[in-house]
Structure formats: C-alpha cells, structure tokens
Chains A and B, each alone.
Chain A
Amino acid sequence: MLFNTSIIKKLQKSNLIGRGCNNFLVADKWLSVKNAGIKGDKFVVCNVSESEPGMFKDEYVLKNFSERVIDGIKIAMKFIRAKKGFIYLNPEYFKDFQDYLLPEISAQKVNIELYEKPLHDYVGGEETSLLNSMQGLRVEPRFKPPFPTTHGFFNQPTIINNCETFYAVSLINSGEYKNIKFYCLSGDEVDNSVKELPVNITIKKCLQEFGHKSSDKYFYQVGGGAAGFCYNYKQLNRAFAGNPSIIIYKKNRPEKDLILHWLQFFKNESCGKCLPCREGTYRLLKLLEKQYAGENQDQAVINDLIFTIQNTSFCGLGKVACNAVVSYWKNICPKK
C-alpha cells in the first residue's frame, strides 16, 4: 500500500504526460484504471506500434533501455494489481527486439507477453484499435466512451501507455527522472538521429541542439511525417504539439510530390470505418491528382472536402489527415 501511494505521488509530482501523442496525465490515467470499479482482471499494455514516418524514438528506447521499459510496466502492473502485461510491437520491432526483450522479461520475473501486430499500419497504434487487434477483431478504433481505462482489453480496465512513458516511469520511481524526453530528427541532408532534450523546448532550440542551422532553404514538418504541420524557418519559435519529431525538407521539393505523398499515406492507412476518412481522403487525392495533371477542378469542393475530413472524422487519424497539406499551403507555398 505504501508503494502504491508513493508511486502515484511521484508521478503527480513529476507531472508526467504520456509520451504517445495524446497529452494525457499518466497519474490520472493510472488512477482511473485503478478505481474503475469493474470486476475481474486488469491489464497493462505497452504500445510500441510506432508507425508514423519520421518517428523512431521508441526503437531507440527499446534498443538502449529495454530493462527500464519492462521495469516501468512492472510498476504499473503492481500499482493496479494486474496479473498480465503486454508489449504491443509492430512486426519489424518484434523481429528485431524479441531476443532482447524475452530474456529481460524472464530475468525480471514478470508476466509480460509480446504481441506482434499483424500489419505495419498507422491506425493500429491508436489505443482502441490496438485493443481490437489484440482481441483478434478488425483493426479500427472503437467508439468512446467507454474508454480503455474502464473497458479496455476484453472490456477490462487497461493501462495503455507508450513505451517511452514506461521508461520515464521507471526513472521517476528510482528518482533519476530529469524532465527530459526524446526527439527525432530526419529528412533532407541529415541522418536520422535521436536526442534526449528538455520537455518544453521550442522547435528552434531543438534544431540548434541537433546542430542544424535553420534557414530559408528549408521548411520543417513538425509532429510526425504524416500528421505533422509544416513551418517555414521563421515560425519555429514555438513548442512541439503532437509527436516530438522534426523532418527537414529542402524548399525546392516539387509541391505535387509532397502533397500527393501525404494524401496517399492517409488514403492507404484509413481503416475504412467512417465515411469522411474512408471516402473523403480518397476523393481528395483523386481531385488533386487531376488538378496537378492540369485538369480544372473546383477549389471550393476541395476546401469543403478538407473541412469535412478535419471536422467529422471518427478518430484522430482522419482529423489530422489534412494537417500537412493545409499547413504546407498556408506556411510554405500558397496554393496557386
């Protein structure tokens, strides 16, 4: 009991926010699972689905701190008295890391199972899609509420956190947490790299830390290679929103390739559940393909489509599907 109250107090004091992209307080989530008032087992799931382009910090964490991650899961399991935990891995990571993780799990004597996600897909990282996948159901988001904190894995209360969150939990528990987190940098003329930097850093400062000199020659996609916003070099004095990732693009990249690439991604990754995402992303892509091929298209319809996809999609994937495109036209290269 002493342990239980102490970890939650530590988490509250650290103000730890989940390291996925939902900005939810870890202490709050854990408490609502603990107090869910539902009979039966509780579960902990560590999410290592990491499928956004430009994101590879989870891979870095697993590679370097797998024992910390498992320790974090163990703490969570102990806190909610879960008998079982899972690590949800995308197929590549499963292949690469199962030999690291399995011995570590048995060494720490904790009941954690590795779950290999069947496809390397984007929506599979969303927490309720993840649950569906683990239950052998169709991989698509569930209707919320109820939330996984009360009705998660097989409708039992479930903690789902990103793997970096568990790493941070482990640090907090042992008093080594320094309010820093991992950032990813990739793109034109740079190698993929990961750095541990303070939590509330600005984009500009982050780029400096990575040793990149921001300039007019480039533009930057911040928050993930699919859903991130595009900023020009003058707009970097702001905090990160969403994923801690920066992708550098040379400004002379052809607009058509970029736009179609982003839209293609969301069209391919849509799970097909709700209409605006399933049909809207497809129609938007087709209209723009035609437009770039020189055909005349009604700009009002394109705008309406974007508005509808952003505002009426079922889950986050649809809502962010036009972020890159819209911010590109707004900040980098106004649409002709």
Chain B
Amino acid sequence: MSKKINLTINDHAYTAHNGETILDVALRENIDIPHLCKHPDLSIQAICRTCVVEVVKVRLGFKTQPSEIVTSCSTKVEEGMKIKTKSKDAERARIINLELIFSEHIEKCDTCIYQDNCIILKYAKIYNIQIARFPDRKKKYPIWQFSDSIQFDSSKCIDCRNCVEVCDKMQACKFYEVADRGVETIVKPVGAYCNTPLQHNIDSLQNDSNKFDCTYCGQCVVHCPVGAISGVPHWQKVEKLLTEKTNSSKILIAQIAPSIRVSIGEEFGLEPGKIMTGQLAASMKNLGFDYAFDVNLGADFTTYEEARELVNWLNSDKKRPMFTSCCPAWVKFVEFYYPKFISHLTTSNSPHMCSGPIIKTYFADYLKKDPRDIIIVSIMPCTSKKHEINLDTHKIDLGWCLERLDLPNLCHSGSNYHRQFFADTESRNKKLDSDFHQNDKKSIKIKSVDYVLTTREYAYLLHKHKIDLPNLKPQDLDLPLGIYSGAGAIYGTTGGVMESALRSTDYFFRVFDEVGSLEPVIKGENYQLKKKRFSKISQSRIEFKEVRGQKGIKTARVKVGNRKLNVAVINGLGNAKKFLDNLKQEPVRRSDNWLLKSGGGQKFDYVEVMACPGGCIGGGGQPIPTNSKIRDQRAAALYEIDKNLPIRTAHENPSVLEIYQKYFKGDEEFIEHILHSKFKQKEREGYTVMPS
C-alpha cells in the first residue's frame, strides 16, 4: 500500500498517492490544467510549460513558506501542499506560454480536421488568449510527407517533441530528430535539410540518416497535441467521388475495419468502447456509398489463409517462427530494419487487402461490373494502410485473372439481390479482353483498395455532412460480404489475430490428422458439418485467453490439434525490436530456428506483432486522445462483440466457405494471387518536401 498524501487544490482538500504528480491528481479530480507535452504513454518531458501552477510546500523549520510556480506534470505531490491552479501568477505565466505556443503554430484551421476538437483553441477560449499577440515565426517552415501516409507540417509544430519521444522510445524507429538550438530549434525527419534560418547543424544523426525510416505507424500523429503531424488526407478525393456519383458509372463501396466500430463514438462524444456497427452501416449509406461492407469478413479470409499457411509451415522444414504480416507498419519495420526476418512473414494479405480483391473480382462478377469501375474506400484505424494500398505487390492483375478464369459469371444466381445491376457480362468481358490485348498482353494492374480514410477522417466527413452518427437508426451491413465471425471481430486488438488463427489452426490440424492433407480446407468444405460434429474435428477450441491483454510482450504455450506451440504476441515496435534482438538462431537438428536468448532458450513457432500499442485499437488513425485506459475499453468491446456472435471461427463463416467452394474451387494458384503477397528488403523511402 502506498502512503496517502493530503493536499489542497484551489482550497479543496484531496488525498493522493505517494509518487503521483500534481497533474495526475488534478486530472483525476476533473480539475483542468492545460498540458501539451505530457502524454500518459510517454515519460515526463516538462518542456511546454503550460501546466504551471502555484504551489506552497510545507518546509519544516521555516517561518515563511514562499509560493513558487512549478510545472504540475513534473512536480510530485507532498504532504500539506497547497496548490492553486488559478492564482494570478500561475495564470499570468500560463497565458504568456500559451500565447508563445500560438506564435510557433500557424493556424491553418480551415484545412485542419481537428478544428472541432482542437486543444489549443479550447485553451485559447478559456484563458482569453490573444492568438496573434506575437507574430508567427514559422511561416516558411517546410511540410514533409512520408509516402502517402503521414504529413508533417513543421509550421504548425510547437516543438513539444512528443513525436521524437514516441518514435524513438516506443517505436524504436528514430525517424525524427531535434536539430539546432534556441529559437532555431526544429523537429524534423532524420537527415532532412530545411531552408530555415538555422545553420548550426548539430544534429548528430545526420551522417547515418539512411539507417532510419518511417514505418507509417502514425503514433506520432496520435501523440501530436496540435495536429502538426497528420494522416495524408484522402477525404477530399472521396468526397468528390461521392458528389459526382450520380453522373458516373462508378460503384462506391466502403468497408469498415474491425476496430473502428468501438472507437468512432469518441469523435461524437461517446464513451470509448461503444459499439457502433449498425450506425456505421447507416452512415455509409447516408453519405452515398452504394455498399457498406465489413473488413471483418476480410479478416476471416486472412485467418483462414494464415492458419492454413501455419499448418503447412509447421509441417515443413521452414525456419521458425512464422510472423503475422497483417500490420503494414510491422511489415515495413521488418523489410527495412530486420530484412533477415522477411522470409518469416506469412504471405497472407491483411484483412482489407483480402476483402478488396474479393470485391473487385468475385463481387464485380456478381454485379457484372468492370472491376475498374468499382471504387473501394477502407475506413481504417491506421495511417500505414494508406501506404499499403499503393504497394505494387498488393495490386490485382486483371489480365492474369482474365486469362486464367475466363471470368464468366461465376456467382450463384439464386438470390435476387441487386437486380438493378444488369450490365452485360459479355460486353464487359470483351472490353476487358480488348484492353488486355491492346496492352500487348501486359498486365492491367489495379489497386485492390482505392482510398483509405482514418477513423478521424471519416468522423470529420460525417461532421462535415451533418450526419449525427450516434442518433442514426442502425442498419445491417450489405450481403453477401457482410457476414463475419467473432474471429474477424477481435482482429482489432493485440492478440486478436493470434487467437483467431489459433482457433482455425486447431481445427485445421485436426482435419490434417484425420485426412492427411488440407484438401477439404482448400476446397472450402465445412468438414465439421460433414462429419456431423461427432468426430474429433469438431472439438476445436474457441477461446485462447492466454494471448489476450495489453502487455507489450506476451508468451504462451498453447495446445492446438495434438501439438503444442510456443507463441508470442507483441504490440509496439519498440517491444518488437526488443523481442527480435533477443532472438538468436539455433543451429538445431531439423532446421534452424530462432529462440529467445533469455528465458531458457524458448523456441517460437508463431508470433503476432502489431506496430501500435494495444494493436489497431491504439492505431495511428484512431481518435485523439488515446491512452492505455481508452485502449482497454476499446479492446473489451471487441471481445464483447466476439462473445455474442453465433459463429466465432473463420472456418465456419459461410461467406468464406462459399467463396472457396464456388469461386476459388481449390485453385491454389488463384488463391495465392488474390489473397497473398510478397515482401522484399526496402531502401529508405524517407520523405518528400511538399509545397507549403
């Protein structure tokens, strides 16, 4: 038990725990103190100096007890302390410091998606700040863009260095650095040259800047208090498509990621963890999308493929462990920082990269539409997904599909769903065919997903169109791609991919042991039903609670089928680095495996890594603020969804099985093309300078 401490804040008595800071206590008691550089995920920096308060400490043996101004984020509570958050002196200093903050931050509110929940504008109102007291200093500061994912507008930067801290300490990427001194201090991507008035060049990393690159995880975005770092906006493009939709032949499809349904409510003032699936479906229709789909289905495909790959992997001589690859920031991290582990990544696509191609092939057939007329917008908790959709390895080669499949209308015609689309299949195929031949039989590659909106961007779009999400009448997601299992639902939290894959791996191993191959799996047969649930196969396990929780590195030994696997679940790239650095190759009997140096040389068979703390629920595209408590609430909601679903495993999802049966028809090469990708070692992609 920690010692209780008595103190007063603004003449009210409170008790606090030993070791707490003044700010901790104040926030817990709902006393607002402005603070910008303090984030619960990060260590105390105490450099923005806006959280100043006046304090009288008890000094035994002294007659007078002078008051002093301290930063509440860094000052520990003491017995008898008298704290004043609104004293004349504290406010005097705080106001000047806030005005100085505004002198470093160029207000570009018109184009800023934080305009409705901007922290510094809020403080400006409360303290009656004169925003333009001091003239803007950073007018000519550059804007950097990292791939199509992240934009850093240094003219809005207040030098709080949260991005530097988070990129270095939490994500182990060191892509940001602080250069120069004094008023010329600038936070910038490593190695960037900037044409500002600085010329000291004391950034120590500059010489080896090629060793550092961005993984686009977006943690700098969610930890930036003033929106200087943001996701590259795609919403304007999507908005334009939506308004022009009436006179175009395009079909607009939106799909929501597993984790955004439990977080988007926060953008509308709801508690974290409020489940909004139905309202989201309604909102997508309200905005004008033709179809509202769920990436949860894509997640079921990922699980299905990944579990299949895992079974094959463990039955083979391949080096272990197998790593998940559905987090594009993690993939980039491996490709850039740890290329020796590239061959350990599963090649199964990430969920929206599974559902995207399926929509553009299977569902295009269903609609009898040219896949090029289908526009898919993924609503994601992630900035890295914006980068992922542009990767060449993730594009669909229509020419390849056409030649291979002769693209007839493969879909079942039983349902009378969407009869309004009567595009002529034959003419469509002819056009595709002629384009293909005109192209000299070269491939016609199209993106599997066209745009990615972050949770924040989508909420902004709804606000802009005056759609009040919480009060919409819930609707169902569209069939046939709207059915999903609980395994897909939990993808959004750390441990979710692992648990989903284990559920199916357990089953696949049983099938394998009974049949001697994974033939029924590839063909999409529901072996459980076929065996009428009395064979050993149907005894598959659902919950793997040992891989749940927000801990950075979790390890467990789990039984699947009749095998025991060592698994690890990691969230945060810093933890991933720690894990990888501690792995060493063991020159063992059968094949060379990787084992942990410490912990008794434990070998690992299967490892899940998510780049962001807590997994996608703490992703770079999620509502701000985010902290461990909020992440916990979001994760709990996902497990709640899973618990209440009738189907909780990917291999029982009828939508998945139907597509395997009727579309893929056991053609492994086709599955490979649609649902798998390749990875290769990456050079530094760095940054591009944008016109400001």
Q: Which residues of A contact B202 (CB under 8 A)?
A: 118-119, 138-139
How many whole Å from B196's CB to the nearest CB in chain A?
Answer: 13
Q: Which residues of B contact A283 (CB under 8 A)?
A: 100, 103, 134
27 examples of A-B residue contacts, CB within 8 angstroms: A139-B181, A143-B46, A268-B182, A270-B183, A271-B181, A271-B185, A272-B159, A272-B180, A272-B184, A273-B47, A274-B46, A278-B159, A279-B100, A279-B103, A279-B134, A279-B183, A280-B96, A283-B100, A301-B133, A304-B92, A307-B89, A307-B96, A308-B97, A311-B69, A311-B89, A313-B49, A314-B47
Chain A 130-179 residues near chain B, CB threshold 8 A:
136-139, 143
How many whole Å from B198's CB to the nearest CB in chain A?
Answer: 10
| Contact present for A312 and B182 (CB under 8 Å) | no
Chain A 252-271 residues near chain B, CB threshold 8 A:
267-271
Q: Which residues of B contact A119 (CB under 8 A)?
A: 202
How many whole Å from A21's CB to the nearest CB in chain B?
Answer: 20
Bound: A121/B46 CA distance, A: 23
A18 is an interface residue with CB less than 8 A from chain B: no
Q: Which residues of B contact A218 (CB under 8 A)?
A: none
A275 and B47 contact, Cβ closer than 8 Å, known pairs A143-B74, A304-B96, A312-B52: yes
Checking B44, B137, B204 against A136 with a beta-carbon cut-off of 8 angstroms, the contacting residue is B204
How many whole Å from A6's CB to the nearest CB in chain B?
Answer: 31
Besides A137-B204, A283-B100, A311-B89, 15 other A-B contacts (C-beta < 8 A): A119-B202, A138-B204, A139-B181, A139-B202, A143-B45, A271-B181, A272-B159, A272-B180, A275-B159, A278-B159, A278-B185, A279-B103, A281-B182, A305-B96, A312-B93
Q: Considering only CB atoms, which chain B residue lies closest to A306 in the complex?
A: B96
Bound: A301/B45 CA distance, A: 27
B101 is an interface residue with CB less than 8 A from chain A: yes
Which of B44, B93, B104 has most chain A Cβ within 10 Å?
B93
B178 is an interface residue with CB less than 8 A from chain A: yes
Q: Which residues of B contact A225 (CB under 8 A)?
A: none
Q: Which residues of B contact A282 (CB under 8 A)?
A: 137, 182-183
Q: Which residues of A contact B101 (CB under 8 A)?
A: 275
A275 and B49 contact, Cβ closer than 8 Å, known pairs A119-B202, A280-B100, A283-B103: yes
Q: Which residues of A contact B184 (CB under 8 A)?
A: 272
How many whole Å from A13's CB to the nearest CB in chain B?
Answer: 24
Contact with A along B74-91 (1 / 0, CB 8 A): 100000000000000100
| Contact present for B204 and A279 (CB under 8 Å) | no
Checking A301, A305, A312 against B49 with a beta-carbon cut-off of 8 angstroms, the contacting residue is A312
Q: Considering only CB atoms, which chain B residue lies closest to A298 in the complex?
A: B133
Q: Which residues of B contact A270 (CB under 8 A)?
A: 181-183
Contact with A along B538-571 (1 / 0, CB 8 A): 0000000000000000000000000000000000
Bound: A44/B89 CA distance, A: 40
A276 is an interface residue with CB less than 8 A from chain B: yes
Bound: A274/B160 CA distance, A: 8
Contact with A along B193-212 (1 / 0, CB 8 A): 00000000010100000000
| Contact present for B92 and A274 (CB under 8 Å) | no
| Contact present for A272 and B100 (CB under 8 Å) | no
Contact with A along B464-500 (1 / 0, CB 8 A): 0000000000000000000000000000000000000
Checking A138, A143, A311 against B44 with a beta-carbon cut-off of 8 angstroms, the contacting residue is A143
Count, chain B residues at interface, CB 8 A: 36
| Contact present for B46 and A275 (CB under 8 Å) | no
How many whole Å from B68's CB to the nearest CB in chain A?
Answer: 8
Bound: A283/B183 CA distance, A: 9
Q: Which residues of B contact A118 (CB under 8 A)?
A: 202
Q: Which residues of A contact B100 (CB under 8 A)?
A: 275-276, 279-280, 283, 308
B378 is an interface residue with CB less than 8 A from chain A: no
| Contact present for B48 and A275 (CB under 8 Å) | yes
Q: Which residues of B contact A137 (CB under 8 A)?
A: 204
| Contact present for A274 and B47 (CB under 8 Å) | yes
Bound: A102/B671 CA distance, A: 72
| Contact present for B181 and A314 (CB under 8 Å) | no
Count, chain A residues at interface, CB 8 A: 33
| Contact present for A307 and B92 (CB under 8 Å) | yes
Bound: A272/B100 CA distance, A: 13
Q: Considering only CB atoms, which chain A residue lies closest to B45 in the complex?
A: A143
Q: Which residues of B contact A276 (CB under 8 A)?
A: 49, 93, 96-97, 100
Bound: A118/B200 CA distance, A: 12
B384 is an interface residue with CB less than 8 A from chain A: no
| Contact present for B49 and A272 (CB under 8 Å) | no
| Contact present for B178 and A278 (CB under 8 Å) | no
Interface of chain A, main secondary structure: helix
How many whole Å from A3's CB to the nearest CB in chain B?
Answer: 35
B71 is an interface residue with CB less than 8 A from chain A: yes
How many whole Å from B202's CB to the nearest CB in chain A?
Answer: 7
| Contact present for B44 and A312 (CB under 8 Å) | no
Q: Which residues of B contact A305 (CB under 8 A)?
A: 96
Contact with B along A292-336 (1 / 0, CB 8 A): 000000000100110110011110000000000000000000000
Q: Considering only CB atoms, which chain B residue lies closest to A285 in the complex?
A: B183
| Contact present for B183 and A272 (CB under 8 Å) | yes
Chain B 306-358 residues near chain A, CB threshold 8 A:
none
Q: Considering only CB atoms, which chain A residue lies closest to B186 in the complex?
A: A272
Bound: A319/B275 CA distance, A: 50
Q: Which residues of A contact B182 (CB under 8 A)?
A: 267-272, 278, 281-282
Q: Which residues of A contact B134 (CB under 8 A)?
A: 279, 283
How many whole Å from B132's CB to the nearest CB in chain A?
Answer: 12
Checking B69, B159, B181, B185 against A312 with a beta-carbon cut-off of 8 angstroms, the contacting residue is B69
Bound: A281/B101 CA distance, A: 14
Chain A 12-49 residues near chain B, CB threshold 8 A:
none
Chain B 148-193 residues near chain A, CB threshold 8 A:
158-159, 178, 180-185
Bound: A56/B178 CA distance, A: 32
How many whole Å from B577's CB to the nearest CB in chain A?
Answer: 19
How many whole Å from B594's CB to the nearest CB in chain A?
Answer: 30
Contact with A along B21-49 (1 / 0, CB 8 A): 00000000000000000000000111111
Which of B46, B100, B178 has most chain A Cβ within 10 Å?
B100
How many whole Å from B167's CB to the nearest CB in chain A?
Answer: 15
Q: Considering only CB atoms, which chain B residue lies closest to A123 in the complex?
A: B181
How many whole Å from B135's CB to the nearest CB in chain A?
Answer: 8
Q: Considering only CB atoms, which chain B residue lies closest to A311 in the complex?
A: B69
How many whole Å from B251's CB to the nearest CB in chain A?
Answer: 51
Bound: A301/B74 CA distance, A: 27
- By Cβ-Cβ distance, the 5 closest A-B pairs, closest first, are A272-B185, A282-B183, A270-B182, A308-B96, A279-B100
Bound: A273/B183 CA distance, A: 9
Bound: A275/B158 CA distance, A: 9
| Contact present for B46 and A312 (CB under 8 Å) | no
| Contact present for B183 and A267 (CB under 8 Å) | yes
| Contact present for B204 and A314 (CB under 8 Å) | no
Bound: A270/B47 CA distance, A: 13
Q: Considering only CB atoms, which chain A residue lies closest to B181 in the complex?
A: A272
Bound: A276/B133 CA distance, A: 15
Q: Which residues of B contact A269 (CB under 8 A)?
A: 182
Q: Which residues of A contact B93 (CB under 8 A)?
A: 276, 307-308, 311-312
Q: Considering only CB atoms, which chain A residue lies closest to B185 in the complex?
A: A272
